Structure 1
Amino acid sequence: MDKQDINNAFIERLEQLMEYKSLNQRSLSKEIGFSYSTVNKYCNKKSNTIDFELIYRLISHYSDINANWLIQGKGEMLQNNEPTEDRMNKLIDTITFQQDTIKNLQARINELETINKRLETQVALYLGKQIV
């Protein structure tokens, strides 16, 4: 699953949350104290990243929402009433895991870009030799 797929899946869950809470983008933004324009940008898929602050505010404000479901799509939307400290520890673990995954994927992208540049150079040199 690439970064855009992860973002799109998160947006789908955010929209499910808004529907469950009977909120639109503006009322959600107001309720959690977050920028409406940023929420709108996410929901309209005009951003390829999701702000940690949004995730934090959603989970902090809606204690009945399962953090694993919101972030990773695992489990049920509604919380099973585990203690807040446990929820926050799981949230931190989940975010740390996602950050590591993004870091690893970015490293792989950089590696592939380097390989691609090297191959492009080799092809150009090869084609240059054939023309002469």
Structure 2
Amino acid sequence: MKNINKTTIERLVEFMEYKNLNDNKITSIAGLSVGLIGRARKNNSGLHSDTIEKILTSFPELNPTWLLTGKGNMLNKESEKNVINNNQENEENLIDDIFDTQRDILAFLKKNYTKKIF
């Protein structure tokens, strides 16, 4: 099903799945009334403009045009670039951490298992 044929709440649910958020989490983060998202999902109803505004303010990476119309990408272009850059940065940090850990292990082994020569 294309996003353009989905309702706003269906697109919001897609974003929630992408972000690994449940109804309670998004409600808490966006400062919404408890149960609001669940009721909208259950009734497949629309969201009020103040609710959408709170969601978009809380999740600036979410493309408002996509949420409201289904046109374009789910994420803002700048956010997509940030995700890519953050992933590359995380990979580099992970590699550095692995090398640091290997150095620590080698130093430990060398210190504790090498024969001392007198």
For normalisation by structure 1, the TM-score amounts to 0.52
Shift of the 73–46 alpha-carbon distance from structure 1 to 2, 3 Å rule, reads closer
Shift of 1:80: 1.3
Given the alignment, which residue of 42, 45, 48 partners 1:44?
A: 42
Q: Note the residue ranges of structure 2 that are not aligned, 5 or more in a row.
A: 80-118
Match of 1:24 in 2: 22
Residues 1:57 and 2:78 aligned together: no
For normalisation by structure 2, the TM-score amounts to 0.57
Q: Note the residue ranges of structure 1 that are not aligned, 5 or more in a row.
A: 1-5, 83-132
Shift of 1:46: 5.9
Aligned mates of 1:79, 1:12 — CA distance in 2: 18
Shift of the 15–46 alpha-carbon distance from structure 1 to 2, 3 Å rule, reads closer
For residues 46-81 of structure 1, give each alpha carbon's deviation from its aligned partner in whole angstroms, at most 9, with x where no partner exists: 64x421111101111111111100011110001012
Residues 1:71 and 2:68 aligned together: yes
Alignment check: 8 A CA contact 2:27 2:33 kept = yes
Structure 2 SS opposite 1:14: helix
Question: How many equivalent residue pairs?
Answer: 76
Shift of 1:36: 2.4
Match of 1:104 in 2: none
Shift of 1:45: 1.5
Q: Highest relative contact order (Cα 8 Å, sep 6+), 1 or 2?
A: 2
Give the share of equivalent positions with the same residue, in percent: 29
Aligned mates of 1:79, 1:27 — CA distance in 2: 22
**RMSD (Å), alpha carbons:** 2.2
